[in-house]
Structure formats: structure tokens, C-alpha cells
Chain A
Amino acid sequence: MADLPTIAIWKFSSCDGCQLTLLDCEDELLGILGRVQIAYFPEATRAEIEGPWDVSLVEGSVTTPEEAERIKEIREKSGLVVAIGACATAGGIQALRNWANVKEFASIVYAHPEYLETLETSTPHSDHIDIDLELQGCPISKAQLVDALLAVLSGRRPNVPTSAVCVECKRRQTPCVQVLGTPCLGPVTQAGCGAICPSFARGCYGCFGPKETPNTVSLAKRWSEMGASEDQLLRAFRTFNGYKPAFREESARHGG
């Protein structure tokens, strides 16, 4: 028991959905738990094992001074740090504050903004520390999470695809929704979800974030030809992964 690797699961600013993905691995969960020691996972257990830890899974973005400090401590005490989800890898939807005035934001929501301790920005962990592996997605894919855990446990490289959602559509034999007239972010979005949206006759909305070397300019041009307004393009690129550089730069080309 004492020899099993320790895993700690940390929450930063987030919806808890990516750590819930682990509990949603209903078929694999008990098997995984037999091969690791859960050292810290407050969403699931009161028990704690002190660090250092072999692996830390980090969910959520950095939005407070406390979080900015905590991620550094976690880095120091962890063998591997894996950032999971759009918040941890791109700042998440709450990174929309990065284009706004946080004081104004706070006063819209709270009667006493002075009670809050919050940073001006919501940032991914890679802006603060070195990260060993990033799993993109809002939320992350169960299959990718299980693969990453098994890879870490057996010391192999994880299989994280770098291709576009389009490749997954082709594999599923889903007719291209964009060809049929629905704007789709699939060509610039990293695979991993299984191309769910097009299979439901909906355009991809980019929740897995930019793929490697995405040609956003060309896609935006195609959307414009299809009748998308500049506002629409701005919002499309500036949502759950809007602060990830490739999408951030593209959204800037459409105003704001």
C-alpha cells in the first residue's frame, strides 16, 4: 500500500466538472483506485496524506492571490503536475474578466466588492509554473483522463491528440456541418471530445480549445463568407478558451 503512487487533486477557480470526470469514470474508478493512493481529493474524501505527492491533478484557473501562491507550493511538492480542463489550461470562461475591469465586474455582482480578494485576471497554471501535461477541454474527456493516469502510472507517454475535431468527424462518418451551412470551430479545435456537437447537427463551439497550429484566420474568413458578423466571430473565439493565445489573437482581429 505504502508503495503505491500518491495522487493529489486540487481545485482552483472552476465548476468542479473536471474533477467530477474522475468520479464519472464509473467503470474504471475502482481499478484506478487500486493502483494509487488518493492523497488529497476533498470533493470525495476527508482523508489527507501530506506531501510530497507523485502526481498532482490541478483543476481551475488562478484568480486570487492565494491561488497564485498555492500553485507554486503544489509545484514544489509534486513529481508531475497535470493541468486538467479549460480553466487550468486557458483560464476558462472566467478569463472574460481579462478584457474587462474587475472592479466594475465585482460591483455588478456584489454589494460590497471590498470584501473580495480577487486578481485582475484569470490565468492558466502555465503562466505561473512549469506544467508537465495539459489536458484541454470544458470538460476534459474521460478517456483522455484515464489514459493520462495509466500513462503516468506506467511511465509511458500519454496519447493526447493534436489533430482537429474534423478528424474525429471523419472517423465517425459525420457529414460536415459546415458544408451543410452551419459555422463550426471544428477545423481549429483540438480533438478529444469525439466530435459530439457535429453528431448532434451543431457546429463545434471550441470547448477543447485551439489545436496545434490552427488556421483561425482562414476559418474566420469562411465564417464571414457564410454571413457571420464580426461580433459573432469575436464571441465565438472568446468563450471557454478565449484566453488561449491562438483564440485570443483571432478574437482581437474582430474588435474589442
Chain B
Amino acid sequence: MADETRTIKTDYLARVEGEGGMLIRLKGNAIEEVKLNIFEPPRFFEAFLRGRYFTEAPDITARICGICPVAYQTAAINSMESICGVKVEDQIRQLRRLLYCGEWIESHALHIYMLHAPDFLGYPSAIEIAKDAPEVVETALRLKKIGNHIMTVVGGREIHPINVKVGGFYKAPSKAELEAMVPDLEWALETSLETVKWANTLDFPDFEMDYEFAALDAGGVYPIEGGERFVSNRGLDIPIDEFYEHVVEEHVKHANALQGHLKERGSFLVGPLARYALWYDLLSDEARGAAEGVGLGKVVKNPFKSIIVRSVELVEACVEALRIIREYEQPAEPAIEVKPKAGAACGASEAPRGTLCHRYEIDANGIILDATITPPTAQNQPQIEADLRGFVGQFMDLPNEELTLRCEQAIRNYDPCISCATHFLTLEIERG
């Protein structure tokens, strides 16, 4: 028994974006191997961006991910504007934040209700939940639709928006167009507050990890559409331009996504848990109130409870969207002209799944010479493996089927986007 090998595996992990799997091999009570396999085929964005014009980067990199295109567009724009030395006016920045709130609402509602909830409720998918509790899925779809609608009004369409560009927007929406969304957003806010309460009633395994949480520092507001610094709860505090001096990417054999590590410190976590832990004090009264209302501490170390934290961020996105619409004044010009300037810079944004960093180098004619893109899932990949190691160590006695399901759930805690990271997961646990 002591040296019997036990394998727990899922070849093709469901309800995540992209293609991946996992392998866990146990020998007796020792964990021999934990691997998040990523077999999503590489698409070589960083290679074919070379030679393209700098203003094309937002539209091209949007195609890395259909679920969070705004994150890519915004990080690319932040980087290009930094290289060219331009700063957009506040209304443009607020419009970008509004567009991004739409993406957070759409992506978080999708993950909370349709990708993650089935694990907690014991269903293979939201399709089966709809048969027993259609109101849950209808709520999810309406929330998602409201997020998508913001993206359509501000960005032109929900998947791969067309209205954003380096320097601003092609066309700024009128105040009336935005105000028309207010009743829906008020419903979404109420529903998000209920979502926090509902998420808190789910069953969570008694499991905590000691994380290094990292997120952007947006200078006094909850980080969404950008931030000048990248910080952690363990003293990391760097200008975003030094991102690649501190985060190193490693190419391991079992993953077509590069794994991110903090130099000399190892794995770290980006995403809702990190943003929440670092910037709790910057949340709106409504979002903080919702967290307090369910007794959620200022720091959440149980990764399974990310579903509650994601719900708190859903509240935050609705509050912010409503605030921006209330304060909005249509800018005189939708964009400023940006002339290319030779140079290099990093630009980042907080994708629903965590910090996304782009770095470009362009020449004086605006041609891209070099591109590096580090999505949140690539940064979280070593931490996901660490969570699995910790979880299996603690819950080794569970029967294989249940342990497999729980391990899949532990991966879905991260809302991993393997299409981004390259793209996907297969879970295998071998015991021996």
C-alpha cells in the first residue's frame, strides 16, 4: 500500500477557456508529480506582431482571447501611449474604465454562474442547472448581457470591440446613450449584491494557502484599466516598466504557456483574490458592505472562496459603471493624435483573471520591433500547481473520483484562460 502508485487525471478540463489537462502522481502518501499540462496550440502572437504597425496592436492582441479582449486592447494601448509619450484626458480614461467594467461584469458573471457554480452545486454544467433552477441561469444570462451591452455601446461589439484605439476612441458615446443603460445597471447592482450572499452559502473545503498576492497599483483607485506600479503584499513595489526584471518566464516541457515566477521568490498569485487583498480599502462602500455583510475578511486565503470575491468585484464593477455614467461628459474629441516615437515600454491592465502585461519596442516609423505579452494565467500557472500540491496533500484520503473533481475545481478557482496563456488544461492524478 505504502508504495502503491495512484494517478488522478483529467485529460481535457472542462469549463475553462482553452485546452489543458492535469496529472497528479502519488506514491503512497508522497506526491511525486503535479503538472498542469497545457496543450493549447501556440499561435505565436509575439512573433507575428513584429513588422506590424503600432496602432494595430490593440486589434491584433484582442484576438488572443475572446473572453477578455478589452484587457488586451487596453494593455496594448497603455504600452503604446507610454512609448509615444502621450497621456489621454480623464474622460477618455473613464470611458476605458467603463468599457472594462463591462468586460468584468460579463466575464465574472460567466465564471461565477456558468463555469464555477456547477462544481459547488454538483452539476456538470449550467445547462443542467437550468433544468432544475432556471432562475439561476436566467439571472446569470441577464447579468452577462448587461456587461456585454456596455461593451457594445462603448466598444461597438462585445467580442473584439472595434471602437478603441491608441489615443482614445474612434467615436465617443453621447451621455444619453450611456444613461439609457442605468436602469439595467441598477438591476445588475442589486443582483450582484444578492450574488455575494448566494455565493457565501456554498460549501467550501477547509483549505488555505499562504499567497504572495500581486496586482497593479492604480494610484488611489481599485485597479482595472491600468496602473503605473506592480505591487505585492510581500514588498514587491516596482514601476510597471520593470515588470520583466522581476517576473521571469520559464518554458517547461508540459506546457505551451510560459510559466511566470517572481525572481528569487517563486510563485505568486494575480487576480480577484490579490486585488481584493491589496486594495480592499479602495472598494466602494457597496462592495465593502457586501463583503462585510457575509463576514468575508479583508484577506481571503481560501482559493475556493474566490467565487465570493469575484462576486464582490461584480458589485464593484456595477458601482463604478454607474458612477462613470453619472459623471460623464462627452469629450470634445474622442481621441488625441498619436505620432510614433522610437522606444520601448510596458503597459498593463487588470484582466478579470489578473494582471496582464505587454511590452513593445517600436521604431520611429511606428513599426513593432519586439513584443512580449504575459497573461495572468501564465503568471498563475505555478501557483495553480502549488495549490493542487497543497490540496492533494491535505485531502489525499478522498476517493479518486471526488479528489479529481475537487482538483478540477481547484483549477477553476483561477478562472484560468489557457487561450490566453497559450490556451488549456487536462487533469490527471496518478497514485502509487
Residues of A within 8 A of B (CB): 11-21, 23-24, 26-27, 29-30, 33, 38, 41-47, 63-64, 67, 92-94, 96-97, 100, 102, 104-106, 108-112, 115-116, 118, 122, 138-139, 193, 196-197, 199-202, 205, 207, 232, 235, 239-240
B17 touches A104 (CB 8 A): no
Which B residues touch A201, using CB under 8 A?
A: 170-171
A93 to B47, CA, bound (A): 12
Cβ contact within 8 Å between A23 and B114: yes
Q: Which residues of B contact A67 (CB under 8 A)?
A: 41
Residues from chain B with Cβ under 8 Å of A205 in the complex = 59, 162
Assuming the A-B contacts A202-B162, A240-B63, are A24 and B14 also in contact, with contact meaning beta carbons closer than 8 angstroms in the complex? no
Choose among B47, B52, B156, B250 the residue that contacts A197 (Cβ–Cβ < 8 A). B156
Which residues of chain B in 37-59 are interfacial with respect to chain A, using CB atoms and an 8 Å cutoff? 41-48, 50, 52-53, 56, 59
Complex CA gap A43/B114 in Å reads 10
A64 & B125 in contact (Cβ 8 Å cutoff):
no
How distant is the Cα of A41 from the Cα of B15 in the complex, in angstroms? 9
**Contact B42 A106, beta carbon cutoff 8 Å:** yes
Q: Are B125 and A45 in contact (CB under 8 A)?
A: yes
In the complex, which residues of chain B have a beta carbon less than 8 angstroms from the beta carbon of A235? 52-53, 56
A44 touches B48 (CB 8 A): no
* A187–B114 CA distance with the chains assembled, in angstroms: 40
Q: Which of A15, A27, A42, A44 contacts B114 (CB 8 A)?
A: A44
Contact present for B156 and A13 (CB under 8 Å): no
CA–CA, A102 to B44, complex, Å? 9
CB pair A109 B141 closer than 8 Å: no
Contact among A27, A33, A118, A239 for B42, CB-based, below 8 A: A118
User: What is the CB-to-nearest-CB distance from B304 to chain A, in angstroms, rounded to a whole number?
Assistant: 18
A38, B125: Cα distance in complex, Å? 11
Residues of A within 8 A of B157 (CB): 193, 196
Q: Are A16 and B17 in contact (CB under 8 A)?
A: yes
Q: Which of A18, A122, A202 contacts B170 (CB 8 A)?
A: A202
Contact A108 B127, beta carbon cutoff 8 Å: no
Q: Which of A20, A29, A41, A111 has the most CB of B within 10 A?
A: A20
Query: Contacts A14-B419, A235-B52, A235-B56: A30 and B130 contacting too (C-beta < 8 A)?
Result: yes
Complex Cα spacing A138 to B60, Å:
11
Tell me if B251 and A108 are in contact (CB < 8 A): no
Whether B64 and A15, one on each chain, are in contact in the complex, defined by CB atoms closer than 8 angstroms, is yes
* Chain B, residue nearest A141 (CB): B157
Neighbour of B47 across the interface among A16, A42, A105, A116, CB < 8 A: A105
Neighbour of B125 across the interface among A44, A93, A196, A202, CB < 8 A: A44
B141 near A45: Cβ-Cβ < 8 Å: no
Let me know if A17 and B134 touch, CB within 8 A. no
B389-407 Cβ-contact flags toward A at 8 Å (1 or 0): 0000000000000000000
Q: Which chain B positions have C-beta within 8 A of A199?
A: 156
Q: Which of B48, B59, B115, B127 lies in contact with A38, CB distance below 8 A?
A: B127
Q: Which residues of B contact A118 (CB under 8 A)?
A: 41-42
Q: Using CB atoms, name the residue of chain B closest to A37.
A: B127
Mask of B161-184 contacts with A, CB within 8 angstroms, 1/0 = 011000001110000000000000
Q: Taking each of A45, A100, A106, which has the highest tally of chain B beta carbons within 10 Å of its own beta carbon?
A: A45
B130→A11 contact, CB < 8 A: no
Given A26-B148, A235-B52, answer yes or no on A110-B67 (Cβ-Cβ < 8 Å). Answer: no
Given known A-B contacts A45-B127, A105-B48, A17 and B171 have beta carbons under 8 A apart:
no
Q: How far does the alpha carbon of A102 sit from the alpha carbon of B43 in the complex, in Å?
A: 10
Interface contact B19-A110, CB-CB below 8 Å:
no
Contact string, B250-274, partner A, CB cutoff 8 A, digits 1/0? 1101001010000000000000000
Q: Is A138 in contact with B63, judged by CB distance below 8 angstroms?
A: yes
> A42-B15, A100-B47, A197-B162 in contact; A17/B66 too (CB < 8 A)?
yes
> Which residue in chain B gives the minimum CB-CB distance to A256?
B51
Q: Kindly supply a per-residue 1/0 record for chain B positions 307-327, scoring 1 wherever the CB is within 8 Å of any chain A CB and 0 otherwise.
A: 000000000000000000000
Given the contacts A16-B66, A109-B44, A44 and B126 also touching, CB distance less than 8 Å: yes
